[in-house]
A and B are shown apart, each in its own frame.
Chain A
Amino acid sequence: MNIHLYLFLKLKGSMRVRDLNKVELVKQKAMELLVRIGFEGFTMNKLAKECEISVATLYIYYKDKDDLILQIAKEEAERMSNVMLEDFDPEVSFEVGLKQQWKNRAKCMLENKITSQFLEQLRTSTYQEEVYGTIVSNFKITLGKFMHNAIKKGEINDMQLEVYWSVAFAPLYNLVRFHFDGSSIGGRPFVLTDKVLWDTFELVLKALKK
């Protein structure tokens, strides 16, 4: 874990002690609060109250609200992108590689609901550029390489990265969104099952593979 993640608790007088659990608590509560009330309504005071710590403790680690949001976002984006690359080899066949990607992404999002919703919210905010511009470069390189390998080997047609992403992953993201909402179009109840997930994957594979 990152050293600057450690939070300090003020104990008797000026002695400050590291408390890792508290750091995780602050991160979790901050994301929950941001998802619940949005970037505008979020304040350091509200967060301190949620965590039952003093505002000063927050300011030891973060300069201001923007600094807090950006630090947490960068750490979480990095952590999530590492999980998404687990057991993934950009040299394998297109079908095997894409399947692994779906497996990793679904697991990652479903097991980290708050983080997923927080990062999704970030995507449509002014923080987007700073977070995604720098931190996830290894992720982009590996997945870019995978796509280019598939094109080179003649497994898929040559296409723009955006087109590829929209066909390859957007359906999965949308199913997860429905699942988190508990309902789909027109309020129909929806639960993402393994069958739905892998049936959709087969359709995506059919669309992309030559």
Chain B
Amino acid sequence: MEPDFKDILLFKTNIQTADDKNLIAKVMEKHKIKQWTIDQQDVDCVLRIVSPALKLEEVIHLVSKNGYQCEELI
């Protein structure tokens, strides 16, 4: 099913390498965030999450806490 567009959260990050992605994958799993992707081909390593429950600030906090830059993609 198509996601509701208001449920799409977008972030500019520095999750650049495969190792970085593996680490974030564990974080996502731990917090039961299932629908997420990172565009590592892009200079902004855009993190895209589909979730009706999560808030922007929660994701920024979660990613930052694990040592990565994370801000809303505008």
Contacts and interface: CB of A to CB of B under 8 A. Distances in A.
Interface of A: 3-4, 8, 14, 16, 43-45, 54-56, 59-60, 63-66
A46 to B, nearest CB: 10
B10 A64 contact: no
Nearest to A45: B43
Contacts of B73: 55-56, 59
Interface in B7-24: 8, 10
B39 A56 contact: no
A170 B44 CA distance: 42
B48 to A, nearest CB: 6
Contacts of B8: 59-60
Contact of A54 (B5, B41, B43, B74): B74
Given A3-B2, A4-B2, A64 B42 contact: yes
Interface of B: 2, 5-6, 8, 10, 37, 39, 41-44, 46, 48, 73-74
A14 B10 CA distance: 13
Contact of B5 (A16, A45, A63, A65): A16
B10 A59 contact: yes
Contacts of B5: 8, 16, 60
A139 B41 CA distance: 33
Given A3-B2, A63-B37, A43 B43 contact: yes
B42 A44 contact: yes
A44 B73 CA distance: 13
